[in-house]
Amino acid sequence: MHIDYSLLSTEIALAILGLIVFTLGLTLPSRSTNRGLGAFAIFGLLIVLGITVSFWGTQAELLAGMYLIDNFSVFFKILALVAAILIVFGTMSYANNNLSRQLEYYSTIIFATLGMIIMISAGDFITLYIGLELMTVSFIILVAFRKTDGHSLEAGIKYLILAGVSSAVLLYGLSLIYGATGTVYILELAELVTAGTISPLLVFGLVLLVAGFGFKISAAPFHMWAPDVYEGAPTPITAYLAVGSKAASFAILVRVFVGGLAGMQEQWATLLAVLAAISILLGNLVAIPQTNIKRMLAYSSIAQAGYIMVGLLTASPEGIKGVMFYAFIYLFATIGAFVVVCAVYEKTKSDEIASYAGLSQRSPLAAAVMLISLLSMAGIPPLAGFVGKFYLFTTITDNFMWLVYIGLIMSMVSVYYYLRVALVMYRDEPTDPTPIKMGAAVNVTLIIAMVATLVLGIYPTPLSELSNIAAQSFFTW
């Protein structure tokens, strides 16, 4: 059988990059490498991003459907790479000052990205699981990276145990589906599973699958790990968990449910709708009393997962397009917020919301980016989140009107806790009025995040058309 390895150039390049970064870290003297290693990683990731972009428009399968390359997967790969680049770039000084040994740090981030990318392109359950585990194991290392910090270790242990359990559940579900249908290929599954062939075994497997993926996207009631892990992990890793891990998991969720199990849409749509509703309600309500900004963002990311799930319910191109659009704009908002969290932490050594007092005077840019990012998550126009929610929720007004009510009312409620941060930043006088100086890299990242959130809110057409094309390619298999 002839295998066209060039189709894998993104993955190969990324694996090589990870190994080079790792070796460089080992061989070069440690003190001087720190900064250089990060810069090198970004440089390499940019090249990989370039390679990935060149795949736009390719529609091919590898190894008889084990690996799928289409615009849908390229879109999510670009998303994962952009997230990795922006996070590494914006938090390099945080990493230099707060994380001791970085040679594993950057290479592990690259391997986590590789895991995401494999998962995004997975065409069968085995590849899916390999990608998922590569990503998860890398994240376990990264979450516990601050070895002297009890919180970080606690978060690492929690993530390890819970991720292990969820993997087991997921595997069990996958094996049941294999048992019921006799195939692990997602495209074959689409032909085998139709309304007439649904068996209790299949339904049980489906439920386990929802539980397993629900953990990865931190949807309620499988969200328990998120607040503790988000709080304990080093902030750049929290950001990457919130953006990259979540987006990649959504990609595979869409692939398996909409691509493979479309015949069971009736079964899973209601289930996902209920989970989305619980996530939106719980995430937004529990975020209200939080005093730690990372915990607050963790609960808000649970709610965001709920919003994105809405796009799956109709199994239509419009819905998938909404998922992709929202995932991309959520990236900018989340990275903007977390890079500010990093910058503030460097100065104040605190993640409490109270330590943001007077931020608008200490660093107007950081305060503005934080405000814009939070309001975009809340879906206030003219920021990108508004258009994103519009795309998502217009798809379900026919069948799930009750969810539209919950989603929109709760997103207005979320303004309450987002604005409390604004209150502290803009009204309160700073306890320490010295300005917060941020490096050029941080400033550039913040400006990119802010401009993207604003521009895509006012003129979303370019991204909307890209996601439209990508969503179409998903349905042409």
CB of 254 to other proteins, least distance (A): 19
Q: Which stretch binds other proteins (CB under 8 A): 124-132, 146-154, 195-203, 395-403?
A: 395-403
Under rule CB under 8 A, residue 43 binds other proteins: no
The yes or no reply on residue 166 touching other proteins (CB under 8 A) is no
Q: Which stretch binds other proteins (CB under 8 A): 42-50, 57-65, 272-280, 392-400?
A: 392-400
Q: Residue 447 pairs with which residues in a beta bridge?
A: none
Which pair of tokens denotes residue 268?
């899973």
Angle (CA) 120-242-257 rounded to 5° is: 40
Report how far apart, in Å, the C-alpha atoms of 69 and of each of 54, 187, 249 are: 12, 13, 17
How far is 392 from 310, CA to CA, in rounded Å?
A: 6
For other proteins, the closer of residues 38 and 460 by Cβ is: 460
477 touches other proteins (CB under 8 A) = no
List the structure tokens of 188. Answer: 């074959």
Nearest in space to 361 (alpha carbons), one of 263, 427, 445: 427
- Write down the least CB distance from residue 17 to other proteins, Å: 37
Q: Does 307 participate in binding other proteins (rule CB under 8 A)?
A: no
Q: Which of 460, 466, 473, 474 binds other proteins (CB under 8 A)?
A: 460
Q: Compute the distance between CA of residue 454 and CA of residue 48 in angstroms, rounded to an integer.
A: 27
Taking the complex as a whole, how short is the minimal distance between the CB of residue 184 and other proteins, in angstroms? 36
Q: Choose among 445, 214, 431, 407: nearest CA to 322.
A: 407
> Of 397, 431, 432, 437, which lies in the binding site for other proteins, with binding defined by CB under 8 A?
397
Instruction: State which of residues 56, 172, 390, 475 lies at the interface with other proteins (CB under 8 A).
Output: 390
List 387, 421, 436, 466, residue binding other proteins (CB under 8 A)? 387
Count of residues that interact with other proteins, criterion CB under 8 A: 35
Kindly indicate which of the ranges 64-72, 128-136, 272-280, 375-383 contains the residues binding other proteins, using the contact rule CB under 8 A.
375-383
Write the binding mask 406 to 445 for other proteins: x where contact by CB under 8 A, - elsewhere. Answer: --xx-xxx-xx--x--xx--xx------------------
Residues near 256 by beta carbon (within 8 Å), at least 6 away in sequence: 128, 186, 209, 213
376 binds other proteins (CB under 8 A): no
- Per the CB < 8 A criterion, the answer to whether 56 and 32 are in contact is no
Decide whether 3 or 288 has the Cβ nearer to other proteins.
288
Q: Of these, 199, 274, 405, 437, which contacts other proteins (CB under 8 A)?
A: 405
Q: Which two tokens stand for residue 448?
A: 């990119």
Residue 330 C-beta: closest distance to other proteins, Å: 19
Specify which residues 292 forms β-bridges with: 352
Record the tokens describing residue 225, joined without a space: 């790990």
Report, in Å, the least distance between residue 442 CB and other proteins. Answer: 20
Place of tokens 């736009």: 56
Does the footprint of other proteins cover residue 475 (CB under 8 A)?
no
Q: Is 380 in the site for other proteins (CB under 8 A)?
A: yes
Nearer to other proteins, 3 or 447 (CB): 447
Q: How many residues does the chain have?
A: 477
CB 325 within 8 A of CB 387: yes
Give the integer Cα–Cα distance in Å for 132 and 115.
6
Using the 8-state DSSP alphabet, how is residue 430 labeled? P
CA 145 – CA 154 distance, rounded (Å): 11
Nearer to other proteins, 180 or 425 (CB): 425
- To other proteins, the closest distance from the beta carbon of 405 in angstroms equals 6
- Partner residues linked to 67 by β-bridges: 62, 122
Closest CB to other proteins among 165 and 404? 404
Please, what sign has the CA dihedral across residues 97, 101, 106, 111? negative
Interface segment toward other proteins; rule CB under 8 A; list 211-219, 229-237, 438-446, 454-462:
454-462
381 forms part of the interface with other proteins (CB under 8 A): yes
Calpha distance 80→386 (Å, rounded): 22
Kindly tell me which of 253 and 470 has the beta carbon lying closer to other proteins. 470
Is residue 316 a contact point for other proteins (CB under 8 A)?
Answer: no
* 359 part of the interface to other proteins, by CB under 8 A: no
In one-letter notation, the amino acid at residue 186 is I
DSSP conformation class of 437: -
172 makes contact with other proteins (CB under 8 A):
no
For 41, the 3-state DSSP assignment is: helix
Q: Does 113 bind other proteins (CB under 8 A)?
A: no
Based on CB atoms, which residue is closest to other proteins, 220 or 387?
Answer: 387
DSSP state of 68: E
Distance CA 400, CA 386 (A): 19
In whole angstroms, how close is the CB of 464 to other proteins at the nearest point? 6
Cα torsion 36, 42, 45, 47: sign: negative
Q: State the minimum distance, in angstroms, from the CB of residue 125 to other proteins.
A: 34
Please identify, among the stretches 81-89, 115-123, 152-160, 455-463, the one whose residues bind other proteins according to the rule CB under 8 A.
455-463
- Contact predicate 112/14, CB 8 Å: no
Q: Which residues bind other proteins (CB under 8 A)?
A: 375, 380-382, 386-387, 390-391, 393-395, 397-398, 401, 404-405, 408-409, 411-413, 415-416, 419, 422-423, 426-427, 458-461, 464-465, 468
